Chains A and B, each alone.
Chain A
Amino acid sequence: MSAFLTHLRIRLRATLGDPAALAVMIATGLATLILWPGPMPATGPRLLFGDEAMPAGTATLYVFMWIWLWPAVASLRVGGSTTTGTASVVLAQRGHPALPVGPRAHVLAEVAVIVLFVLVVRTALLAAAPWLHGIGTEFGPRTFEGLVVMLPALVAWTVPGRAPQLRFARAGGVVVLQLVAMRSGLLATTALCTITSLALVGLLLAPFGREWHPWRRSPQRPRSAAVRARRAGPPHRQLVHDFLVRPLPWVAAMLAAQIVVLIAGSLVWPGVRLLGEDSPGVVYFGTVVVLSLALSFIALRPMGSAQAVAGLFGKPNYRAGDFLTAWSALPVRREAVLRGVYLHGLVVSLFIFALALGVNLLVAVLEHRAWAVLDFDRNPAARAFLPMVAAVPCVAGFVAASAAARRDKALLAGLALLLVVQGHLLMLMLGPPAPLHAAVLVGAAAAGGVPVLFDLRRATPRNATITPT
């Protein structure tokens, strides 16, 4: 108990003493006013959009996405940065893991800090503006119910993992279990919510005894069998194969994942049928999630390695230009490698996009019995999704500029990518003239994909000879 209180005091003081952390925590507390879950019937939560109730499936999607993601920012901030301060390290480790605090006390103390902030911010808001809709008399019970529902995800995000991805997966897994619990009626009342959440928290904390070390790796696996070689070919043909053909199985796996997500979504939420009135929303979200994953894990990882991009942004163990230098001992030209990286970004992201489009098209055809993918009235997801093809050259430009250690061009491509994704959605809401909308997207695509082309030109003439001076 004393370790818990000690760590609670230390983390609380550290958060209060850091203006950035304080701002994040206040913002996180304020965000509870946007969406704050509570007990839910088996049919799903009720969510109002203006004065109208959202379809049950869409509301479930929103609420559980929120339960998954809301605690992330707060828990990572309260956990504190490590000395290197990069995202992956913050996600994978915690600072000073050797403190005399057991892992469970560590986690619970940090969760308690977040809970305190939520209580303080919501109380302060109630005091300042008691007339705000949704607070008033229900404030106390609603705050408690929300914290109870959020608790498992909060703990899941706060437990450190040996790999950054583990936190996302662990929190995602907990939310899926909560979803199943909801469908089984186990989140229907405050008492049931409390029991379910405590059970999930116990499940999460059970493996973390005092002997658990967040930074120690598992024992090495036994040595595997002999390394297989592959058939050698002309280096430039191998280069094309490695950059363009090698990622395709992963792209296909992403497609399969997307289909599974869509079908599983339709099975989990009876209110959302794959071909029903809610399907555009599910298709859109599924597409965006799968596209984001595919772009992150395939298009931005030529040769299956994060090296090309990671080095430019200070990831530990990586240096800018390492990816290109790693090729230097091979019998291929530098610019040929860079062209391969660019083509990888271009072709793979285009392929991912085409696959996602194919699924979109399939749903539209099945739903409307017509090739309605371009009929934006009957297939609104396509309106949001199709113009994002402008992101393809931006992805190629970003990954090639990163591999070439051209930070300026990589940043330009990254900003262009952001403009395509965010700007497009913003324009969908604002509704500017179509030519202006198209011009912005084309301009962003050009700004992201063209500048790096100058780095792909041949630097050394083939079969030239040196003239002695």
Chain B
Amino acid sequence: MPDSHLIEVRDLTVRRDGFRLQVPKWSVAPGQVIGVVGPNGAGKTTLLETLAGLRPSNSGTVRVLGRDPWREPEVRAALGFMSDDMPVFDLRIGPLLRLLSGYYSTWDPALVDSLLARFKLDPAQKAHTLSKGQGTRLRLVTAMAFQPRVLVLDEPATGLDLAGRRSLLESVLEVVRDPERAVIVSSHQLLDVQRIADRLLVINEGRVVREGATDALVGEGRTLEEAIEAWGAAG
């Protein structure tokens, strides 16, 4: 595996409940934003959870920063993961973030403060009293606060209003200003994905339909939505 790749996937197969995800070959280089798109049930979440080491693969190889995330969860010290339905600790936001800070040597308190301000979160509020959109914002803060080299976002725009989505896009673009870091984002907000993603991974029914640079795949004068329709991956 070239050292320059943050993520490397080879001949990956993940099975669950009669569903099978197959990714023959895929890699993520630093400084990139990768958009993972596809219809509901395509396997996007399965792929992202496998990358984060939250579910095992049945065969093949997954390497994040050269390590197997399922067997070496310590790699998550450099991998930030958020999903729209991921539970968070039932604490007030301030104590929750303070608790999490102990687990990451790269935790950045100044970044946390700016993210809280950007996402309009009150540290005194209890996590379980947050609305869906506020919960999503909190998950984004917890995933970004320790400046992970790989940021994996599964449906990060769920429940976000316009201002929240704008803050999300700004935050993602700030992450990849650091050429050593990368963002993988799965979303049904195709316009947002088209705006920020350098590369796309299009999945349908557990198989990779398209993979490559966004501009080259989508083509001139077309939206990502139109392209996905054309590829037959709209669901």
Asked if B87 contacts A326 (CB within 8 A), the reply is yes
**How many Å from the CB of B24 to the closest CB on chain A?**
12
Interfacial residues of chain B within 101-158, with CB under 8 A of chain A in the complex: 101-105, 107, 109, 112-113, 116, 122-125, 128-129, 142-143
Q: Mark B1-31, 1 if CB is under 8 A from A, else 0.
A: 0000000001100000000000000000000
Scoring A residues 235 to 273 as 1 if CB is less than 8 Å from chain B, else 0, what string do you get?
100100110000000000000000000000000000000
Nearest CB on B from A138, distance (A): 52
Interface residues as binary, A314-333 with B (CB distance below 8 Å gives 1, 0 otherwise): 00011100110110111111
With the chains together, A230 CA to B98 CA distance in Å?
A: 6
Contact with B along A264-306 (1 / 0, CB 8 A): 0000000000000000000000000000000000000001111
A394 to B193, CA, bound (A): 51
Smallest distance from the beta carbon of B94 to chain A beta carbons, Å? 5
Closest to B142 in A: A329
Chain A residues bordering chain B, tally (CB within 8 A): 45
Q: How far is the CB of A1 from chain B (nearest CB, A)?
A: 38
State the CA gap A460–B76 with chains docked (Å): 15
Verify A330–B76 contact, CB threshold 8 A: yes
> Contacts of A463 on B, CB cut-off 8 Å?
71-72
CB <8 Å contact, A329 and B76 = yes
Within 8 A of B (CB), among A197-242: 217, 220-221, 223-224, 226-233, 235, 238, 241-242
CA distance A322 to B10 in the complex (A): 31
Q: What's the minimum C-beta distance from A289 to chain B, rounded to whole angstroms?
A: 25
Docked pose: A37 CA to B12 CA in angstroms: 74
Q: How far is the CA of A228 from the CA of B124 in the complex (A)?
A: 13
How many angstroms from the CA of A226 to the CA of B113 in the assembled complex? 6
Docked-complex contact A235 and B89, CB < 8 angstroms: no
Chain B residue numbers with a CB within 8 Å of A319 are 87
* A127 close to B (CB within 8 Å): no
Closest residue on chain B to residue A333 by CB atoms: B73
Segment 52-74 of B: residues with Cβ below 8 Å from A = 52, 54, 56-62, 68, 70-74
Are A228 and B91 CB-contacts (below 8 A) given A329-B82, A333-B73, A468-B11? no
Total A-B residue pairs with C-beta atoms closer than 8 Å?
A: 133
Contacts of A333 in B (CB 8 A): 73
**B90 at interface (Cβ–Cβ under 8 A)?**
yes
Please indicate the chain A residues that have their CB under 8 angstroms from the CB of B60 in the complex. Answer: 466, 468
The 8 Å CB contact of B73, one of A220, A230, A332, A468, is: A332
A326 nearest CB across to chain B (Å): 4
**B97 at the A/B interface (Cβ < 8 Å)?**
yes
Distance between Cα atoms of A110 and B202 in the complex (Å): 61
Q: How far is the CB of A146 from chain B (nearest CB, A)?
A: 41
B196 within 8 A of A: no
Q: In the complex the two chains form, is A331's CB within 8 Å of B74's CB?
A: yes
Cα A458 to Cα B98 with chains together (Å): 28
CB–CB B54/A328 < 8 A: yes
Q: Does A229 lie within 8 Å of B101, measured CB to CB? A: yes
Cβ contact within 8 Å between A331 and B101: no
Q: Give the residues in chain A near B102, CB-CB below 8 Å.
A: 230-233, 238, 241-242
A460 touching B70, Cβ below 8 Å: yes
Contact A306 B90 (CB under 8 A): yes
> Most chain-B CB neighbours within 10 Å: which of A224, A233, A235, A329?
A329
User: In the assembled complex, which residues on chain A have CB atoms less than 8 Å from the CB atom of B59?
Assistant: 466, 468-469
Taking CB atoms and an 8 Å cut-off, the chain A residues in 438-469 that contact chain B are 460-466, 468-469
How far in angstroms is the closest Cβ of chain B from A139?
A: 50
- Residues of B bordering A, CB below 8 Å: 10-11, 52, 54, 56-62, 68, 70-77, 80-82, 86-91, 93-95, 97-105, 107, 109, 112-113, 116, 122-125, 128-129, 142-143
Q: Nearest 3 CB-CB pairs, A to B? A: A229-B101, A322-B87, A331-B77
